[in-house]
Amino acid sequence: MKTLIVILLLLIANFQYRLWRGDASLAQINESRSHLEALTKEVQEKKERNAALYAEVLDLRKGQETIEERARYELGMIKENETFFQVLE
């Protein structure tokens, strides 16, 4: 009977060690969960960015106004017979 109790105590000690310090310990599970949450947030941000870029591509494909706007603001271009005013502060 004593040997059975010793074996059970050793098994319990082994399981406790694995629970707190082993490969699949609680600390590692919590760390993995927080890493997963960070990755999920990053994926969501990238999905939102991709959706915005896709909307911009669609807008560029169907409208001349967007192309003109980008040419004006990013490249500093102006149309023919158009007057350019630069305001300095």
Asked whether the predicted pLDDT for residue 31 surpasses 80, the reply is yes
Tell whether 83 is covered by a domain: no
In the chain, how many domains are there?
Answer: 1
Tell whether 46 is covered by a domain: yes
Tell whether 49 is covered by a domain: yes
Tell whether 62 is covered by a domain: yes
Backbone angles phi, psi at 86, to 5 degrees: -115, 125
Helix (H, G, I), strand (E, B) or coil at 53: helix
Q: Identify the residue with better confidence: 80 or 47.
A: 47
- Cβ pair 81, 87 in contact under 8 A: no
Q: State both tokens at 49.
A: 């960015």
Tell whether 43 is covered by a domain: yes
* Residue ranges with strand state E in 2-88: none
Tell whether 67 is covered by a domain: yes
Asked whether the predicted pLDDT for residue 53 surpasses 90, the reply is yes
Tell whether 57 is covered by a domain: yes
